[in-house]
Amino acid sequence: MLPEKPKLAGFGPYVLDLSERILRKGEQIVPLAPKVAETLCILVENHGRLMTKDELMNRLWSDSFVEERNLAQNIFTIRKALNEKEGGQKFIETVPRRGYRFIADVSAVKMNGSDAAAIDNIAGGDGDVFKPAAVTVQAPPVKKRYGLPILGALVLAGALIVVGLYTFRAGRSDRAAVPGDAYSNGSQLKRVTDTGKSWLPAISPDGGRIAYVYHNDNSDGIRVQDMATGAVSDIVPPSKAEIGQPEFSPDGDQIFYTAREGGLEATVYRISLHGGDPKAVAKNARSEVSVSPDGNHLAFIRFNPEADGLELITAATDGSDERSIARRKGDKQFRVWETSPAWSPDGKKIIAAAFDQTSSGSDPQRRNYLVEIDTASGAETEIVSPGFYTIAQPIWDKNGNAIYAVAQDSSVSPLQIWRIERSSGKALRVTNDVTNYERLSLSADGKSLVAGVRSTFYNIWVHDLKGESPPAQLTRSVALRNGFFGIIWTPDSREVIFSQTDNVDAGNLWAVNVETGQERQLTFEETASNRWPAVTPDGRFVIYASNRSGQWHLWRMDLYDGSVTQLTSGVGESHPQLLPDGKRLIYSSPGDVPKSTWAMNIPDGIPQKILDDTGGPAHFSPDSTMLAINYFDPNERSRSPWKFGIMPADGGALPQELPLNSERSILRWRNDGNAIYFIEPGRTHNNVFVYELSSKASRPVTSFTEMKIVNMGLSPNGRYLALARGNTASDIIKISLR
């Protein structure tokens, strides 16, 4: 413990002002939310001593009731800010089930003369610190807004707490997997929307307007906003169609976009900004659309069922002259979700996100990268770049010398904006914070980059199917995703076990008591994510998916002693579901769509493939003879090939289709085996329905008017549903480049 509680405490390259609760690295302030900074101060003041969770909770939130997960989130954020990484300097030690200890050496720092010089001396030289000139966050143009719901305000507040109001964090990359300095560009960030409902932005060629998808009341529309005045106009009115990222024509007079309904492939539309109705110009697009620099051609990716593969398609902007210029199938695929191909500035090449998924070998893995396709010959060249965990939404800079993309450098890092030099492949960070960025668009002069920023929370609720008690909320988070990646009851119905992830996907398994709301943490990963829990009938073991080994595999944890055993070692296993007797499980592999569904005896059975081309977690019927499953029908031409059905659990026959569609492919059998629960898809809110197999009719079993349900689990007695419910806020920022 520090002897006199000095004003300044130094550790590693950092200096912490304990009075002002300000953390510095060299001359740069490291931004921390107030409670996060207070947490760090308490730990530093008591360095070397174990601070129990109860002690920290009492110090931080003595006058209010909050969940223990908020403390865990603060610790995670501190570690991010201090650039802790595996194999590097550690500042905070986790003592499982007890608390935390600040283990770095701490010394008092005396300030005389130049404060900045003294701090720089303590920090030591750091030649590659990103020092942008006058980085500021500006509010959007003032305008009146009425009636922002309290829930929406909480979502936005949670987003601001987590991401630090879209500020850059100075310092080196906190992940060793992708080396590279920051792109020192004198950047400025400006928040241009504040509704929490603004998605998928595009900037006009002159940089004066943005177009974006506006989510409201389970509908999508397209708005255009003036960057100077903030004036907004609705260009495409709201509808139930799912609208993709818009793109301006090079002259700024038209917008192209995709829209899909009922799970069908998308249609490409164009609409004039001077008035008129949208006009369909192409059909069966799997990805979003890109417009060539001369404004004469489009590019998008389409699924070809005859070839069972994906094709890069170009066409004239009126839909004529379609050409398939590149094809991928099997283990080599184009990435199609949340991305689009992009034309080079000279219109001679197209860049797209791609991946390889190995299906055999001793070191199976998925590799994500970018490819460049020659529009004349179709020749494909891989873009030299670091080994990103995920990379998507590539766009060219104005000269074609570099590529901007959204990428993760590890499975538990946020999606950041990177600039990749075309000639050398060197990757430079444009952003370096804990925000998740998505969807990029660049003005014609290369000076203005717009991106979406997203923050999500989900909480665990219990719903009484008999309607004798109102829905009860068990967890209370504004910045964590509880249950999104799995939710299940214990056999005695006393607890619900669920995944808990932050907005950068680091996560663990937790349990909450349904009577008291008391929570307990089950796994303690700091650099990996644990998901999709399944509990054995005796309640002793939890089987779950984890990437703790570097790849997604299934693991089994003994709840009595905490010991862990690896069950699978294939190409990427997830979504385990146990038979009611607990002796056999099914799972999905590999970890992307389309999947294959497998079954195996536990703990050491031989995997048996049940069905290829499946889309999500399957679920056993109560008598273990049938599976409810989401599957792909390659012969479907008139509607969505992704269907839901039931099939024998041994894979002896193909699925029998059911007329339903469920959010995130989540299905659950009713305990009598005569019906299936599913989640109605919805943008902003939805409900759970039950499909009766005998009458072939569906009816709602919940009647919520707000928040989105993303997962569910049925209690062993069949009376209660545990639900993961919450909201996602999305807004748009503009980054002014040099």
Tens of pLDDT, residues 213-230: 999 888 999 999 999 999
Look at residue 138 in the predicted model and tell me its pLDDT. Answer: 36
**How many whole angstroms separate alpha carbon 187 and alpha carbon 345?**
23
Are the CB atoms for 346 and 422 separated by under 8 Å? no
Residue 85 banded pLDDT, cuts 50, 70, 90: low
Helix axes 53-60, 34-45, angle to 10 degrees: 130
Q: 547: alpha, beta or left, given left = phi > 0 and alpha = psi -120 to 50?
A: alpha
Residue 6 banded pLDDT, cuts 50, 70, 90: low
Least confident of 4-13, 89-98, 639-648: 4-13
SS3 416: strand
Closest CA to 62 of 37, 41, 35: 35
SS3 36: helix
User: Over pLDDT 70: what percentage of the chain?
Assistant: 85
Interior/surface letters 62-99, b for 16+ CB within 10 angstroms, e for the rest: eeeeebbbbbbbbbbbbbbbbbbbeeeeebbeeeeeeb
Residue 358 banded pLDDT, cuts 50, 70, 90: low
Q: Is the pLDDT of residue 3 over 80?
A: no
Are the CB atoms for 410 and 386 separated by under 8 Å? no
Look at residue 166 in the predicted model and tell me its pLDDT. Answer: 34
Q: Work out the mean pLDDT of the chain and round it to a whole number.
A: 84
Residue 596 banded pLDDT, cuts 50, 70, 90: confident
The Cα angle at residue 405 between residues 402 and 410, in degrees rounded to 5: 125
Closest CA to 628 of 637, 639, 618: 618
Q: Is the pLDDT of residue 722 over 60?
A: yes
Least confident of 36-45, 115-124, 476-485, 528-537: 115-124
Look at residue 505 in the predicted model and tell me its pLDDT. Answer: 62
Closest CA to 290 of 376, 216, 353, 332: 353
Look at residue 222 in the predicted model and tell me its pLDDT. Answer: 97
Look at residue 172 in the predicted model and tell me its pLDDT. Answer: 27
Token pair 């990996």 in the structure block, residue:
528
Least confident of 83-97, 252-266, 519-533, 672-686: 83-97
Q: Which stretch, 109-113, 176-180, 723-727, has highest mean pLDDT? A: 723-727
Q: Is the pLDDT of residue 556 over 70?
A: yes
Are the CB atoms for 106 and 122 separated by under 8 Å? no
Least confident of 61-65, 69-73, 88-92: 61-65
Look at residue 64 in the predicted model and tell me its pLDDT. Answer: 63
Q: Is the pLDDT of residue 155 over 50?
A: no
Q: pTM for the complete prediction?
A: 0.75
Look at residue 114 in the predicted model and tell me its pLDDT. Answer: 38
Cis upstream peptide for 594 (omega within 30°): yes
Q: Which stretch, 1-15, 130-144, 164-178, 237-251, has highest mean pLDDT? A: 237-251
Query: Per residue in 272-304, pLDDT tens?
Result: 999 889 999 999 999 999 999 999 999 999 998
Look at residue 561 in the predicted model and tell me its pLDDT. Answer: 81
Residue 137 banded pLDDT, cuts 50, 70, 90: very low
Number of H helices, E strands in the chain: 5, 57
Token pair 């569609």 in the structure block, residue:
661
Least confident of 247-256, 331-340, 458-467, 680-689: 331-340
Q: Is the pLDDT of residue 125 over 70?
A: no
CA dihedral 372, 377, 378, 382 (to 10 degrees): -30
Look at residue 65 in the predicted model and tell me its pLDDT. Answer: 60
